[in-house]
Amino acid sequence: MLIPLPGLTYAGHASIALLLFAIVMWVTEALHLAVTSLLLLFIQPVIGVATFTNAVIGFANPIIFLMIGGFIIAEAIRRSGLAARLTFNMLSRFGTTPDRAIFVVVWSTGLLSAFIENVVAYAMLLPIIKEIIPLMGVHDPEKGESNLAKSLALGGSYGSLAGGFGTEIGTAPNLMAAAYTHLPFVNWMIFGFPLAFILMAIIWKWLGFIFKSEIKGVVGGMETVNAKKASLGPISRDEKITIGVLAFTIALWVTTQWNGLDSFSVALIGAVLLFVFRVIDWQDAQEGVDWGLIIFFGGALSLGAALLNSGAATWLVNYIVAFLGPHATTLLIMVVLMVIAVSITQVMSNIALAAILVPIAVTLATAQHQPIGIYAVPVAIACSLSYMLPMADPTVAMAYGTKYVGIPEIFKAGLPLVVIGIIVTIIVIQTIALPFIS
């Protein structure tokens, strides 16, 4: 607060100070993440950032209800026994080594999240991940000592983020860019899927490299997997109902542009149907939903809203772009906008960030007589390179919530992937996407 920041309102200045404070508190874990988020709520009216009524608006963000719905659906998949059945079927098909297990997790969530919300894709696979880990012979992964547990938890999260680049509906920032640039759905897929596949392959190999597995594979190998499959017996009533509700929910997600629903409503529809058909009860939901994680993410969204509403986020972007000068090259502007996006998205909702950056990117491209999507598309993608911190994306927060992996390890694994993601995105934009983004 003592550093002069000309051109900012007092509320904007205070928002940036609060942002730096929040980063320090979250990264050091001086307090539990949820407690820090509660602290951010009452500090805002105290230091003049926003009224308490406006501060808690983060908890009304639809993404909160998407998380709740996703958690409930995931709990039903686990409790019905469907998670175990899917686990053993996938392992018997793809193999029982740690490398194959990471492959299954990364590519399953990645392909799924190209067509549905990455939060839901990861929430659906998380129970399966929790089944695979003890099967591999890992005990008490919550102690944070298993490299395999770390790579699987992060593999699902990172894979879902990368897979979302495949289509316009894969992530909210993609939709934002598509809305401003009017890119046809097929055009996006032409460069989106190559980008997604390259990043998923890198994530698969990188996590196996940085977190060297302490075990060689499923104890007893394929015999154990086949024995487990046989012990499950015929598919149960609850499993059949869960599959039906899941298929119906996914169908609604994929057809949101035609059915008039949004992905947040669809998550709650799926969750309520599981209660109606008695697959789970409210006690199960209370145990299955990480309410501390919900509070944590609501506080992070509140901070993002403060940066947006006070003008602080726009000030930061405009200041940096103006600093580049009028003769900056297209590539330099693209790189700087992506670096800004990936930096801010680690602590701010990528939807809100895209709402700020995408219009600026389109305006810049128009003023320079460039293809309309030349900056908007890479900026939208950069908004979802949320690999470094739990507050960056709900899926990363959920990976952290398993207690398998800590914040320093998430940062260590995520930072190189962010750098690689920027480089690969620029290469894809310059080589494959350029004819399709005008």
* pLDDT greater than 70 at residue 27: no
Residue type, 51: T
User: Looking at the domain assignment, is residue 413 inside a domain?
Assistant: no
Angle between helix 185-210 and helix 98-113 axes, rounded to 10 deg: 160
Contact of 299 with 37, CB cutoff 8 Å: yes
The share of the chain scoring above pLDDT 70, in percent, equals 97
- Give 133's pLDDT tier (boundaries 50, 70, 90): confident
User: Looking at the domain assignment, is residue 422 inside a domain?
Assistant: no
Alpha carbon distance 247, 199 (integer Å): 27
pLDDT (tens digit per residue) in 316-344: 777 767 777 767 788 888 998 899 899 88
- Give 81's pLDDT tier (boundaries 50, 70, 90): confident
Contact of 218 with 225, CB cutoff 8 Å: yes
User: Looking at the domain assignment, is residue 392 inside a domain?
Assistant: no
Helix (H) or strand (E) holding 93: helix 82-94
Contact of 377 with 181, CB cutoff 8 Å: yes
Task: Work out the average pLDDT over 150-163.
Answer: 93
User: Looking at the domain assignment, is residue 369 inside a domain?
Assistant: no
User: Looking at the domain assignment, is residue 20 inside a domain?
Assistant: no
Task: Work out the average pLDDT over 162-168.
Answer: 89
Contact of 105 with 159, CB cutoff 8 Å: yes
pLDDT (tens digit per residue) in 85-130: 877 777 777 777 888 889 988 988 888 888 777 787 888 788 888 8
pLDDT (tens digit per residue) in 30-75: 888 889 889 999 999 999 999 999 889 878 878 788 778 878 887 8
* pLDDT greater than 70 at residue 171: yes
CA-closest candidate to residue 70, choices 259, 276, 293: 293
* pLDDT greater than 80 at residue 16: yes
Structural domains in the chain (count): 1
Task: Work out the average pLDDT over 370-399.
Answer: 89
- Give 221's pLDDT tier (boundaries 50, 70, 90): low
Provide DSSP, 16-75.
HHHHHHHHHHHHHTSS-HHHHHHHHHHHHHHHTS--HHHHGGGGG-HHHHHHHHHHHHHH
DSSP 432: I
Alpha carbon distance 412, 393 (integer Å): 16
User: Looking at the domain assignment, is residue 143 inside a domain?
Assistant: yes
Q: What pLDDT shows up at residue 170?
A: 79
Alpha carbon distance 416, 134 (integer Å): 29
pLDDT (tens digit per residue) in 242-294: 999 989 988 887 787 788 887 788 889 999 999 999 999 998 888 777 788 78
Residue with the bigger pLDDT between 162 and 134: it is: 162
User: Looking at the domain assignment, is residue 93 inside a domain?
Assistant: yes
User: Looking at the domain assignment, is residue 286 inside a domain?
Assistant: yes
Contact of 355 with 392, CB cutoff 8 Å: no
- Give 404's pLDDT tier (boundaries 50, 70, 90): very high
Task: Work out the average pLDDT over 190-207.
Answer: 95
Q: What's phi and psi for 384, nearest 5 deg? A: -105, 10
Contact of 381 with 351, CB cutoff 8 Å: no
Alpha carbon distance 293, 433 (integer Å): 37
pLDDT (tens digit per residue) in 418-437: 999 999 999 999 898 888 77
Helix (H) or strand (E) holding 111: helix 98-113
Q: What pLDDT shows up at residue 208?
A: 92
**Average confidence score pLDDT of the chain:** 85
End-to-end CA distance of the chain: 43
Q: What pLDDT shows up at residue 94?
A: 74
For residue 263, give its domain range.
62-291
